[in-house]
Structure 1
Amino acid sequence: MATLLLPLTILSLVAAGIVAGHNVTISLLDSAIAKGAVCLDGIPPAYAYSPGFGDRYDNWHVFLEGGGWCQNVDACLDRARSSNGSSAKLMSTQNGIVSFGGMLDANSTFNPDFYNWHVVKIFYCDGSSFMSDVEDVDPKYNLTYRGARIYDAMMDELLRIGMGNAKNALLSGTSAGGLATTLHCDKFQSLFHNTTRVKCVSDSGFFVHGEHFMGADWREAFFFSVISTHGLANMLPTSRTSKFSSTLCLFPENLVPDIQTPLFLIESAFDSYQISQNVFSPSDTSPRWISCIRNLMFCNWTDIKIMKGTHS
């Protein structure tokens, strides 16, 4: 079960480094095509791998990239034209290189605990937190919803190159990747022998339903659309869907009670996305409210109360 929920106001441990990290080559997983594990646009998924070394060569860290969700066909079409929906777009915009920083950094000064682990970053190109598995390609828009297959194909590849022999294994992710970490945590643990120590870290991925707080209906409707668009109703844990609607089962507050693998949840007390990106923000989206988000000196008491509600 989940073992820790830390409201942090410091910079994300996973997503941000103090200085620029080391550069790693991005690779396409061409073998995924035969498994139907492709991005929204039908292109093979991408990953970046930095081999471990030294006395921690037997340790592996797998990081799931975040980047929101697409909740309808139009949003998924837009996403398929971006690096969050197409590996081809990712390769062109990144020039085939990604910088590993934070917990992915190979610099022992800035990342003393994980710097010489095997590190794999799995890029996010499905818009469903690596959960969709729709067999048919959308005939009108040529969109492919296969996030779960991407996750499985990536795990198969990592096991092929040696991850199954790990002494320690860590699955982590930020934002939508943090939600994916929560959803896949026990499944990740099942890949290893009983002697392997497996843990998960979800960073900024605890998206709350908060039915008694402003915006709850909007949040529920949004996740309902994500589930409908990506066909997720049958992909969510049955231990949860037997107690809640499929929509509510996408909220971590309803997921973590059943998770058996040690799961560490890192969440800012004032998460900028959950406050400012139409999640907790009030219906007043005026410049005054935006100014409040950026500087508390411009907030009134009602604004402060709304913000405090995000971590109560």
Structure 2
Amino acid sequence: MKLLVYVVVLLTCTGTCFSANDRLLVNMTIVRSAADIGAYCLDGSLPAYHIHRGFGAGARNWLLQFEGGGWCNDIESCAARAQTRRGSTRFMNKLETFSGILSNNASRNPDFYNWNRVKIRYCDGGSFAGDATHDDGKLVLYFRGQRIWQAIIEDLLPKGLSHANKALLSGCSAGGLASYLHCNNFTNYLPNTTAVKCLGDAGFFLDSPDITKNHTQRTFFQQLVTLQGIEKNLDESCTSSISDPKQCIFPQYLLKYITSPFFILNSAYDVYQFHHILVPPSADLRGHWNRCKLDPKACLPAQLHILQGFRVEMLTALRSFLFNSTRGGVFINSCFSHCQSESQDTWFAPDSPQIHNETIAESVGDWYFGRNVSKKIDCPYPCDTTCHNLIGTGSTNDLSQINS
């Protein structure tokens, strides 16, 4: 009987709902005005977001979270994606769970629980940065991520965003990359009096060769930028200062041109980067790395040596930011995970990952509110005993949508 009642509640609620497990479920808002500027998902459906209103002292503060979900970099993979929730709002759940950084519970999200919190749904396959159309007479695909971003912001401004006291633009994975790409633009929409900061969770994708010395991720991103018309939307200061402007989609080249305070949340052994940048399937045809990918304890000494070298490469790419940025924050732990801000277990819980006895939520809060210097680098694997090594979750949550 309880199950029946629960199902009925989910089917009949029209706004914010709470399940029997006290999960915060937030209804979808379709952006009807998006059609006016041609802001469509891959399949031509209208974009959407979920909003849970702030209250009390947080009523005029805003947190926007880009949803992640990989990319598509050719017509075939984008056409397939358009028939899923990653390319169409028609296939998305109309209720979305808000947890971690999106939670409205002070004991689970102490610094942002009472803010206006928005989850921006991902349906363009290009980190909200493309502006192109494919139409061969048989198939139409809309690469309109930049317009989707614009349409959603313009829909939120009259709902209170235009009067924000504080604002945080965040995102996870491909959404984390979007936070890097759109941080400066977000600032331009808001008053000069708004304290604007940005957070990239698992979005610091490295321009690094794989184990066979091929630049698999660079090639993938170049094809993505070309197909979806992203280059014209990349930061002009970056594109004008680099030999290949397409490279500015990589955070390591873009970071120094981001003017707002930025927080980098990443694992040094991020499972996307491990499985698709360092050891993509094309570089391990015989599966020598399969056991290591499934369980870091099964890695051979030579494989661990390569992983440790990859960690050093990430820290080297961050060196200037670590030592020269006075307003930036960093939390680089040694967990085999991917995306840590939206999951309650990794964001803020009794057994959450920690560096120097501080959780991710505490570190981000200290940085945003200026309570403490928050640049934390974990010791190399396997020294951290607080990790949630979510290899299985990480490798299927976001990565299964990636054409590699």
Same fold (TM > 0.5): yes
- State the match for 1:263 in structure 2: 262
CA 1:126 to 1:47, structure 2 compared with 1: closer, same or farther past 3 Å?
same
- What secondary structure sits across from 2:266 in the alignment? strand
Decide which moves more: 99-108 or 301-310.
301-310
The CA deviation at 1:214 is 5.2
The CA deviation at 1:286 is 4.3
Alignment of 1:230-245 (within 5 A): 230-244=228-242, 245=244
Decide which moves more: 228-237 or 119-128.
228-237
Give CA-to-partner distance per residue, 1:193-249, whole Å, 9 cap, x none.
121100000000000102597555111111111011101222211211122213311
The CA deviation at 1:46 is 1.1
CA 1:258 to 1:189, structure 2 compared with 1: closer, same or farther past 3 Å?
same
Decide which moves more: 235-244 or 60-69.
235-244
Choose between structure 1 and 2: higher helix proportion.
2
Partner residue of 2:82 out of 68, 80, 84: 80
Checking the alignment, whether the CA contact within 8 Å between 1:215 and 1:281 is kept in structure 2 is: no
- State the match for 2:96 in structure 1: 98
Give unpaired runs (5+ residues) of structure 2: 1-20, 313-404
| Superposition RMSD in Å | 1.8
CA 1:112 to 1:87, structure 2 compared with 1: closer, same or farther past 3 Å?
same
- State the match for 2:185 in structure 1: 187
Decide which moves more: 145-154 or 23-32.
23-32
The CA deviation at 1:284 is 2.0
Give CA-to-partner distance per residue, 1:227-285, whole Å, 9 cap, x none.
11101222211211122213311110000011110011111011011112x22116225
Q: Which amino acid aligns with 1:33?
A: A
The CA deviation at 1:295 is 2.0
Checking the alignment, whether the CA contact within 8 Å between 1:136 and 1:144 is kept in structure 2 is: yes
- State the match for 1:16 in structure 2: none
Decide which moves more: 177-186 or 208-217.
208-217
2:269 and 2:110 map into 1 onto residues whose CA distance is 27
Alignment of 1:143-158 (within 5 A): 143-158=141-156
Q: Which amino acid aligns with 1:41?
A: D
Checking the alignment, whether the CA contact within 8 Å between 1:20 and 1:99 is kept in structure 2 is: no
The CA deviation at 1:139 is 3.6
1:62 and 1:167 map into 2 onto residues whose CA distance is 14
- What secondary structure sits across from 1:311 in the alignment? helix
The CA deviation at 1:23 is 0.5
Checking the alignment, whether the CA contact within 8 Å between 1:137 and 1:145 is kept in structure 2 is: no
- State the match for 2:66 in structure 1: 64
Decide which moves more: 34-43 or 21-30.
21-30
Q: Which amino acid aligns with 1:103?
A: I
The CA deviation at 1:28 is 1.1
Alignment of 1:151-170 (within 5 A): 151-170=149-168
Checking the alignment, whether the CA contact within 8 Å between 2:231 and 2:245 is kept in structure 1 is: yes
- State the match for 1:118 in structure 2: 116
Q: How many residues align?
A: 289
The CA deviation at 1:29 is 0.8
CA 1:306 to 1:127, structure 2 compared with 1: closer, same or farther past 3 Å?
same
The CA deviation at 1:301 is 2.2
- State the match for 1:298 in structure 2: 298
- What secondary structure sits across from 1:305 in the alignment? helix
The CA deviation at 1:293 is 1.9
Checking the alignment, whether the CA contact within 8 Å between 2:86 and 2:122 is kept in structure 1 is: yes
- State the match for 2:278 in structure 1: 280
Give CA-to-partner distance per residue, 1:22-41, whole Å, 9 cap, x none.
00001211111111001000
- What secondary structure sits across from 1:275 in the alignment? helix
The CA deviation at 1:103 is 0.3
- State the match for 1:252 in structure 2: 251
CA 1:279 to 1:297, structure 2 compared with 1: closer, same or farther past 3 Å?
same
- What secondary structure sits across from 1:81 in the alignment? coil
- What secondary structure sits across from 2:245 in the alignment? coil
- State the match for 2:53 in structure 1: 51
The CA deviation at 1:302 is 2.2
CA 1:308 to 1:231, structure 2 compared with 1: closer, same or farther past 3 Å?
same
1:226 equivalenced with 2:242 (yes/no):
no
Checking the alignment, whether the CA contact within 8 Å between 1:288 and 1:298 is kept in structure 2 is: no
1:298 and 1:52 map into 2 onto residues whose CA distance is 46
- State the match for 1:27 in structure 2: 29
With the length of structure 2 as denominator, give the TM-score of the two structures: 0.69
Quote the sequence identity (%): 39
- State the match for 2:207 in structure 1: 209
Checking the alignment, whether the CA contact within 8 Å between 1:69 and 1:128 is kept in structure 2 is: yes
Checking the alignment, whether the CA contact within 8 Å between 2:134 and 2:140 is kept in structure 1 is: no
